[in-house]
Structure 1
């Protein structure tokens, strides 16, 4: 078999990493409000599709009561 690993390393040394949404570096930190806004539409869709809307409302009201104290 041909030794292709060395040639592959030579070809990829000068390339930048693939960044599909721009070249902004990811620090791994996101504001909790932004994360919540990103997740809520999917959570609502899954709750409606799988019929868990009542459970979501019950849990949300329980959390609201707990925070209100």
Structure 2
């Protein structure tokens, strides 16, 4: 039989830790946090695959798709 009591305690600790740091257990990230996470990878991809033209083209396509 599964040890559900210990798993429940782990979840309670995780929720308390998230609450202590102002985090959320579920939901969406703040757009600035998401941007800060993506920018280093985007810069690396620009260097590896070469060129701003591809980045500008893709960003433009995404902007059009999102209606901006």
Structure with the greater alpha carbon radius of gyration: 1
Q: Could you say which residue in structure 2 is the equivalent of 1:39?
A: 38
Q: Give me the CA root mean square deviation.
A: 3.1
1:35-58 CA deviation, whole Å, 9 max, x = no partner? Answer: 112101101101111114322245
TM-score, normalised relative to structure 1 = 0.50
Q: Which sections of structure 1, spanning at least 5 residues, go unmatched?
A: 1-5
1:16 partnered with 2:10: yes
The alignment of Structure 1 onto Structure 2 pairs a total of residues equal to 54
TM-score, normalised relative to structure 2 = 0.50
Query: Distance between the aligned counterparts of 1:32 and 1:55, measured in 2?
Result: 23
Q: Which sections of structure 2, spanning at least 5 residues, go unmatched?
A: 19-23
